[in-house]
Structure 1
């Protein structure tokens, strides 16, 4: 298992010098474009890095284009998805690539949500993640969990986080489902901040967190501090099993965030800004253009805002399986940052997403006609869903 760091990612053939420049002009200024009066951007809760760095660039956008830009904290990932795709009271959503996979494929808590095609608008950040414990914990490694009697925080607000601790973590340390039930107990938590704080408040022994979140700085300053349990690179079989459950992440060393995490082996999960597939192409084009050309203006508003450069976006696109909005593609093509090869994989990604949406819609129609309750905890509904989706290929990083 090769450990990925940002310095080791292969640079694409496209000229990075050109991509990184914030001065590349588009083919047309499109000065006549009328920005929406109100732009609502959905992000995770107020203690999340997603909310923090979005609040960095949003005021800059408001000042430059004249729209009223509001950043709305919505800690429940399923609700944020519904607000983007059903209620439509969110224009753009900050979402992890991992969670978007759950949304598309109807995994766990998303099984009964209305399927909707989405598109990537721009890259948010490459967020490091790991498993944290209190500074005075008896745990010295993740493998120690196999001794039994330990409590793991389970963030029920986000299906992807549930999978990380309930499925991927036991698989990484070599516990079967039956052994995991005996060795571990799970502590349900209703928000990201509660999830992370649980280890310093004595409610849980391990939590799955990102070291760049503001709540981790608070925790690092708590009596006893915190420690991170490495996801050892040498555990190749563990990583192979982990990625079966979390196929959108990549192994990496944590290089950003609180000092206690730096240099510790963990994983990287990319956050993107997503929009519904039917979002106006010209709006998406203008947003992509703004993200690129105004980068030098907003990159200093938050450390993670610096990860929104076109260079980082381009590196992400070289491994992303998620379709990109045509408005963004139009802009990237104009500045020479999009190739025919990109067209090929993007069309495949769009087709794959359409297949998932159609299959899930068919399953929900069948369930409705049969009077089967559409609920992610109703096995009868899950059986119908599986019948229509079992032959579809899932989304995973193009490593």
Structure 2
């Protein structure tokens, strides 16, 4: 798999103005609605550009009118999906957090959300350092300075998952607070932290690579079963993946990292199986029309994007289509059943916890700590 995508490459793809309506000629097919609204991250983001590329393909093939509504926050995207304002969300890890009632979704107003994935484009994440840091394994991070991003649970959650590969937690490293994701990578370049979490494709990684210290990645080898068991206890949405081309990697010297899905094309669980089937099929069959919109679009190849782990279980309608084209495996089914069981357990725990809180007359301001404790004890 090739993952060497920068923001500049994304921006070469055409993107519509915020909230604009995509209209291209095409022949209407009965499988898709005549009008749809989707949501994705802000205009100019990779998620928005990918959503518009796929939407353009569906419009050309099916004649539907598709409006991509941007939102710069995870809560904003989830709110549009939950309220029914949009039928499809190009979501990031808020899809996982929402199903687990974590972070922004742990409030009494939210709770665990019942959503499903249609498919997800693979992305790569790892712990980056410099070539002269002296760090060679995840275990070497013990006692070292690791960037922790303020108000950015998605990246911090991923770092926590990778740390668990070596049996470490945030308490085992020196946490260095930084104001943003880019600042964490800049801190690696400046030498003010020893390591930071990085999504492969961030442009500053090339700067680290070109620096006098060079770039280094802490490997997460797929054959370490015990390490991966620890990761998946923390984050079942992660799977082994390999960077074969990018900052610090070549086909001759690949780097084993963590694979996850971004964006995760998500719908409400109540979406009918037929609607989910039709939309998934249309997206897959339109691949030839959007695969060259940006280098990363190659990862929408259904032989990659049609397999979990996702942040949420795969929708029955999408799974039916994957069965039909012969790509859904026994391992995929086992993962999906386990993920569904986990979601049911979270929803049951939420119901029981809220009933207990109500019986105690627990004020809302104490709910977050109460739910965190209840989760830890019962889940």
Q: State how 1:325-364 maps to structure 2 within 5 Å.
A: 325-335=315-325, 349-350=339-340, 352-364=342-354
- 1:347–1:171 distance in 2 versus 1, CA, 3 Å: closer
Partner of 2:220: 231
The CA RMSD over aligned residues, in Å, is: 4.0
Partner of 2:248: 260
2:36 and 2:87 in contact (8 A); partners too? no
Matched, 1:270 2:261: yes
Alpha-carbon deviations, 1:213-261, whole Å to 9, x = none?
A: 45545665678664323335686655554443233322333225x2324
Partner of 1:205: 194
Deviation at 1:118, TM superposition (A): 0.8
Q: State how 1:29-48 maps to structure 2 within 5 Å.
A: 31-33=29-31, 35-43=33-41, 46=44
2:129 and 2:195 in contact (8 A); partners too? yes
How far, CA to CA, are the matches of 1:103 and 1:376 in structure 2?
20
Aligned with 1:323: secondary structure? coil
Q: Could you list the runs of 5+ residues in structure 1 that have no partner in the other structure?
A: 7-28, 391-399
How far, CA to CA, are the matches of 1:377 and 1:206 in structure 2?
34
Partner of 2:7: none
Alpha-carbon deviations, 1:326-382, whole Å to 9, x = none?
A: 332444455555689977875665455344324313423443453434569843333
How far, CA to CA, are the matches of 1:58 and 1:311 in structure 2?
20
Deviation at 1:131, TM superposition (A): 0.9
Alpha-carbon deviations, 1:144-201, whole Å to 9, x = none?
A: 433x352423363234x32333x445444454665x1xx41231444x4444444335
Q: State how 1:283-362 maps to structure 2 within 5 Å.
A: 283-314=275-306, 316-317=307-308, 322-335=312-325, 349-350=339-340, 352-362=342-352
Which of 114, 117, 125 aligns to 2:114? It is 117
- 1:163–1:293 distance in 2 versus 1, CA, 3 Å: closer
Aligned with 2:58: secondary structure? helix
Matched, 1:154 2:125: no
Alpha-carbon deviations, 1:27-63, whole Å to 9, x = none?
A: xx9933562534222247855x544533432333344
- 1:71–1:206 distance in 2 versus 1, CA, 3 Å: farther
Deviation at 1:126, TM superposition (A): 1.9
Which of 175, 187, 206 aligns to 1:185? It is 175
Aligned residues: 348
- 1:207–1:350 distance in 2 versus 1, CA, 3 Å: same
- 1:63–1:81 distance in 2 versus 1, CA, 3 Å: same
Partner of 2:123: 127
Matched, 1:103 2:95: no
1:57 and 1:301 in contact (8 A); partners too? no
Partner of 2:77: 80
Matched, 1:57 2:54: yes
Alpha-carbon deviations, 1:296-319, whole Å to 9, x = none?
A: 1111112222222232244x15x6
How far, CA to CA, are the matches of 2:239 and 2:332 in structure 1?
21
Q: Could you list the runs of 5+ residues in structure 2 that have no partner in the other structure?
A: 3-26
Aligned with 1:306: secondary structure? helix
1:187 and 1:203 in contact (8 A); partners too? no
Normalising by structure 2, report the TM-score: 0.72
1:43 and 1:93 in contact (8 A); partners too? no
Alpha-carbon deviations, 1:49-100, whole Å to 9, x = none?
A: 54453343233334443413326253x4455334432x4444322345x654
1:364 and 1:374 in contact (8 A); partners too? no
Aligned with 2:244: secondary structure? coil
- 1:50–1:376 distance in 2 versus 1, CA, 3 Å: farther
2:117 and 2:266 in contact (8 A); partners too? yes
Normalising by structure 1, report the TM-score: 0.69
- 1:88–1:223 distance in 2 versus 1, CA, 3 Å: farther
Aligned with 1:152: secondary structure? strand
